[in-house]
Every structure is written in structure tokens, then in C-alpha cells.
């Protein structure tokens, strides 16, 4: 599966949503997640993300993010269309450790 990782937080560009053939993105206030059981591993969303936040879960060190995607995909609503990015997207793009900064 592919998963959304840290740099989506407070950017939420949503370009990924538009290309997903199975609509498996779920939306929180500050970032999106992918439902790992619904993702068909097509890979088309990965290059679409301006924040480079989408990764295959085969990349090392992403266990924490696989867990976050799995958990929130079950409680957040499905998103199927592109929206405007968050207003602070540009300045937040590339800020390291967003999850630790804003969610703990």
C-alpha cells in the first residue's frame, strides 16, 4: 500500500485525491490519510503530491505512519475531489517533524 506521511500536515494540497482510481483517501482537519486495505498500489498519487508526502509502505521507517493511516482512515470521512490547499501550505511545506510539533 501507499501511505500519506508527515509533510502532508498543514499543507493538504489534495492533488492526490483527484487521481486515485479507488477513492481511498480520508480527510482530517490538517492532513489526509490513505486506507491501506483499499489502496490498490497503483502508485499514481505518489508523483502528484507537491509536498512529496506519499510513500510506499515498503520504505523503511514508516511503521508509525502506516499505523496513523490505518487508524484515521477508519474514522475520518472519505474525500473524492480536489480542494484548495490549506492557507499556510506554502510556508508549512518542508517543515520537519510536523506530527510531533502539532499532534503531541
User: What are the residues binding ligand F3S (CB under 6 A)?
Assistant: 4, 8, 11-16, 31-32, 49, 51, 53-54
User: Cell numbers 499514481 label which residue?
Assistant: 44
**Interface with ligand SF4 includes 2 (CB under 6 A)?**
yes
Q: Which is nearer to ligand SF4, 9 or 39 (CB)?
A: 39
The Cα 82–Cα 17 span in angstroms is 6
26-65 mask for ligand SF4 (x: CB under 6 A)?
--------x----xxxxxxx--------------------
4-23 positions binding ligand SF4, by CB under 6 A? 19-20, 22
Displacement of CA 73 from its chain's centroid (Å):
10
> Which among ligand F3S, ligand SF4, none contacts residue 19 (Cβ within 5 to 8 A by kind)?
ligand SF4
3-state helix, strand, coil in the chain (%, to 5): 30, 10, 55
CA distance 86 to 75: 21
12 binds, among ligand SF4, ligand F3S, none (CB under 5 to 8 A by kind): ligand F3S
Task: Tell me the C-alpha distance between 39 and 103, whole Å.
Answer: 25
Amino acid at each position: 500500500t501507499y501511505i500519506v506521511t508527515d509533510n502532508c500536515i498543514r499543507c493538504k494540497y489534495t492533488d492526490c485525491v483527484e487521481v486515485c482510481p479507488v477513492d481511498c483517501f480520508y480527510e482530517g482537519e490538517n492532513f489526509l490519510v490513505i486506507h491501506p486495505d483499499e489502496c490498490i498500489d497503483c502508485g499514481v498519487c505518489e508523483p502528484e503530491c507537491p509536498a512529496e508526502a506519499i510513500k510506499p509502505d515498503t520504505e523503511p521507517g514508516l511503521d508509525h505512519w502506516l499505523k496513523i493511516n490505518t487508524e484515521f482512515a477508519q474514522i475520518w470521512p472519505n474525500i473524492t475531489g480536489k480542494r484548495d490547499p490549506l492557507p499556510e501550505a506554502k510556508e508549512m511545506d518542508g517543515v520537519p517533524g510536523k506530527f510531533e510539533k502539532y499532534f503531541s
